[in-house]
A and B are shown apart, each in its own frame.
Chain A
Amino acid sequence: MSEEESYGRIFVQLLPRVSGLRKRGLAGWAILAGSTIVSLLAIMTITAPWLSPHNPIAINVGPLLSPPSNQFPLGTNHLGQDMLSRVISGGAIMFQVSIISVIVCLLVGVPIGLFASFKGGFTDKTTSLVMDSIYAFPGLVLAIAIAAMLGPGVVNMALSIAVVYVPSYFRIIRSQVLTIKELSYVDASRMLGANTKTILVDYIFPNVVPSIVAVATINFADAILTAAGLTFVGLGLSVSTPDWGWDLTYGRQLLASGAWWVIAFPGLMVVLLALGFTLLGEGLSELFNPRLEK
């Protein structure tokens, strides 16, 4: 089989099987709810330029620090920026950061996980050691440390989150591979003459995909929260881009003066998006590895 065919096969395996969701009970509802939330927020973010009533970064469009009113339903912040527009547009960064970090994790974590745990022995032991060391760090602390080294910017934020998350992919994949490689269908593939690459691509990877999907969606959720956290401590982005993380930072300071709306609505959005991804991830996880399977 050609290279293209094998990579094409990989891609096809990635499309989750979502037929018959209704019959899946709780898992189905979780997936439905989760994907609805995420899709709506994604659509909102993509159509932000048309949806926002005002330019989210334009200052003084309204009175400074005014509470929610008919004119400004979500109020304004200390710079006179319209909070509604900021909330609508602020998700872009979140999506970008989380998507990039997930892609990096997949490109790095999956091959390492597959190969090291399949090879076993010294390769497996050393890689596990490295991964466990990274995993031992509290995620946010490590992300902050790396972001501080790399500097501001969307890509750098995504990279620091990716580094923190790769060990999670590695662990899940490793536990799956260790089980699968003892199964007789892997022996059977050896009997057909398959080499390591063929075994990993055609026999092991397709059976590991469900767990990868589950980890990836939780990764999204975690990335969003971490991105907000990084911005909160000032390691995120430049000021001009509308970003929920920035609103959280300033909103906290403004809370003292009673302006609750600056932190509340963006905060709600962050939680909502993280929730959406979490529901989706847990639902998919239950779907692919049902715990009550007879």
Chain B
Amino acid sequence: MPLLEVKQLTRYFPVQKSLLEAAFSKKRDFVRAVDGIDFSVSRGETYGLVGESGSGKTTTGRLAVRLDVPSSGDILFDGQSLSSISSRNLMKFRRRAQMIFQDPMAALNPRMRVGPAIRHGLDIQEIGSEQERRQEVVRILERVGLTPPELFYDKYPHQLSGGQRQRVVIARAMILKPEFVVADEPVAMVDVSIRAQILDLMLSLKQELGLTYVFITHDLATANYFCNKIAIMYLGKIVEFGLRDEVFKSPKHPYTVALMSAIPVPDPKHKMQRAIPRGEIPSPINPPSGCRFHPRCSYAFDRCQKEDPGMTRMSGTHYVACHLFDKPSSV
């Protein structure tokens, strides 16, 4: 049984209306952040959710750890529905699933020192004695590379560098020994030379704790390094997913192809051959009809505007949502 199962998930956010609009127009507008997605993550996988702004990847990540509830559809964690979870089971869930945030400065309480901030999870969940909790914090500080731990225990976030703060964020999540971690752009705001350090730390923790990751990012190169499975999101839908090498080496969806061609290559001799779709990402309030990508797609034809493509199987693990590949075997 997969650890995480997402079924027909949607999340719509109502758009705030001004007084005049509320008075004179009955129409309610919604931001369709997540507009019907299905995927599952098995234990031990590093599942990448890749997309640009408005793709819905961050919202999906939050839904997966129950920081938010769906508008429709369901999320099953280890077989249990997160939508209809009791508060006692939710508390237990909070030990099993954690999140690593994008902005290390915003993710740490500026008024809490490092030690107490990391400890707080143990305090709330009442794990271990005072003594044991402090020892655990010291242990995890060392584990994430913040040594000497006694020095870092008493520091405030503003006294740390970006990379160090992100390690604190990781420590705070890992001290609870979770099974499942959603990492939302964990290295986007960290210096380039430090990124590999942080990602390697996350991977080694995966080994040690037997973690399953969902890795959210817009940076394909990083996803290529970290993930073994990739799902490409566009305007609230998943347009392609599969094993990392399948998606990177033989992308099928025109949007995926465009993204792959845009990855910068640090080699002056390499000639960039970009496949750039025209225009920009439309607003998720009124997404295009049929296939969301059709207005920008060079391969679009009649059907694309009328019908939302379902998933077509390219291989046992590789699926794409595109009318170019519709075969009788499409789901």
Interface residues of A (CB under 8 A from B): 1, 13, 183-185, 187-194, 198, 202-203, 206-207
In the assembled complex, the Cα of A207 lies from the Cα of B109 at a distance in Å of 8
**Given A202-B112, A206-B111, A191 contacting B106 (CB threshold 8 A):** no
Residue of B nearest to A193 (CB): B94
Which residues of A are found within 8 Å of B94, using beta-carbon distances?
191-193
Residue from A187, A202, A206 within 8 A of B101 (CB atoms): A187
Which residues of B are found within 8 Å of A187, using beta-carbon distances?
62, 67, 99, 101
Residue of B nearest to A188 (CB): B107
B124 touches A184 (CB 8 A): no
Is B41's CB within 8 Å of the partner chain A?
A: no
Which residues of A are found within 8 Å of B65, using beta-carbon distances?
191
| B209: min CB distance to chain A, Å | 16
In the assembled complex, the Cα of A252 lies from the Cα of B86 at a distance in Å of 69
Is B331's CB within 8 Å of the partner chain A?
A: no
Residue of B nearest to A192 (CB): B121
Is B191's CB within 8 Å of the partner chain A?
A: no
A192 touches B124 (CB 8 A): yes
Residue from B91, B97, B103, B112 within 8 A of A184 (CB atoms): B103
B121 touches A193 (CB 8 A): yes
| B206: min CB distance to chain A, Å | 18
In the assembled complex, the Cα of A260 lies from the Cα of B172 at a distance in Å of 67
Which residues of B are found within 8 Å of A189, using beta-carbon distances?
109, 120
Which residues of B are found within 8 Å of A190, using beta-carbon distances?
67
Is B46's CB within 8 Å of the partner chain A?
A: no
Digit string of B87-100 for contact with A (CB within 8 Å is 1, else 0)?
00001001101110
B124 touches A185 (CB 8 A): no
Which residues of A are found within 8 Å of B169, using beta-carbon distances?
188
Residue of A nearest to B118 (CB): A192
Is B123's CB within 8 Å of the partner chain A?
A: yes
Which residues of B are found within 8 Å of A184, using beta-carbon distances?
101-103, 106-107
Q: What 10 A-B pairs are tightest by C-beta distance, nearest first?
A: A206-B111, A192-B121, A193-B94, A184-B101, A184-B107, A185-B109, A193-B124, A184-B106, A183-B106, A191-B99
A185 touches B106 (CB 8 A): yes
What are 30 inter-chain pairs, A to B, with CB distance below 8 A?
A1-B123, A183-B106, A183-B107, A184-B101, A184-B102, A184-B103, A184-B106, A185-B107, A185-B108, A185-B109, A187-B101, A188-B99, A188-B101, A188-B108, A191-B65, A191-B94, A191-B99, A192-B120, A192-B172, A192-B176, A193-B94, A193-B95, A193-B121, A198-B124, A202-B120, A203-B112, A206-B109, A207-B109, A207-B110, A207-B111
A191 touches B67 (CB 8 A): yes
Is B125's CB within 8 Å of the partner chain A?
A: yes
Residue of A nearest to B120 (CB): A192
Which residues of A are found within 8 Å of B233, using beta-carbon distances?
none
B111 touches A191 (CB 8 A): no
- What secondary structure prevails in chain A residues at the interface with B? helix
In the assembled complex, the Cα of A188 lies from the Cα of B169 at a distance in Å of 9
Residue from A1, A191, A194, A207 within 8 A of B98 (CB atoms): A191
Known: A184-B106, A188-B99, A207-B111. 7 other contacts (CB 8 A): A183-B106, A185-B106, A188-B169, A191-B97, A193-B95, A206-B109, A206-B112
Residue of B nearest to A207 (CB): B111
Is B173's CB within 8 Å of the partner chain A?
A: yes
Residue of A nearest to B111 (CB): A206
Which of A1, A188, A190, A207 lies at the interface centre, i.e. has the most chain B CB atoms within 10 A of its CB? A188
Residue of B nearest to A194 (CB): B124
Which residues of B are found within 8 Å of A185, using beta-carbon distances?
106-109
B91 touches A193 (CB 8 A): yes
| A132: min CB distance to chain B, Å | 16
A191 touches B102 (CB 8 A): no
| B124: min CB distance to chain A, Å | 5
In the assembled complex, the Cα of A193 lies from the Cα of B97 at a distance in Å of 11
| B179: min CB distance to chain A, Å | 14
Residue of B nearest to A205 (CB): B111
Which residues of A are found within 8 Å of B124, using beta-carbon distances?
192-194, 198
In the assembled complex, the Cα of A207 lies from the Cα of B112 at a distance in Å of 10
Which residues of B are found within 8 Å of A194, using beta-carbon distances?
120, 124
Which residues of A are found within 8 Å of B95, using beta-carbon distances?
193
Which residues of B are found within 8 Å of A198, using beta-carbon distances?
124
Which residues of B are found within 8 Å of A183, using beta-carbon distances?
106-107
Residue of A nearest to B157 (CB): A185
| A294: min CB distance to chain B, Å | 13
Which residues of A are found within 8 Å of B172, using beta-carbon distances?
188, 192
Residues 105 to 164 of chain B near chain A (Cβ within 8 Å): 106-112, 120-121, 123-125
| A64: min CB distance to chain B, Å | 59
In the assembled complex, the Cα of A13 lies from the Cα of B111 at a distance in Å of 9
Residue of B nearest to A208 (CB): B111
Residues 44 to 84 of chain B near chain A (Cβ within 8 Å): 62, 65, 67
Which residues of B are found within 8 Å of A192, using beta-carbon distances?
94, 120-121, 124-125, 172, 176
In the assembled complex, the Cα of A192 lies from the Cα of B97 at a distance in Å of 9
| B105: min CB distance to chain A, Å | 9
Residue from A1, A188, A193 within 8 A of B125 (CB atoms): A193
| A92: min CB distance to chain B, Å | 36
In the assembled complex, the Cα of A208 lies from the Cα of B97 at a distance in Å of 29
Which residues of A are found within 8 Å of B123, using beta-carbon distances?
1
Which residues of A are found within 8 Å of B62, using beta-carbon distances?
187
Which of B98, B99, B124 lies at the interface centre, i.e. has the most chain A CB atoms within 10 A of its CB? B124
| A70: min CB distance to chain B, Å | 57
Residue of A nearest to B173 (CB): A191
Which residues of B are found within 8 Å of A203, using beta-carbon distances?
109, 112
In the assembled complex, the Cα of A187 lies from the Cα of B106 at a distance in Å of 10
| B17: min CB distance to chain A, Å | 15
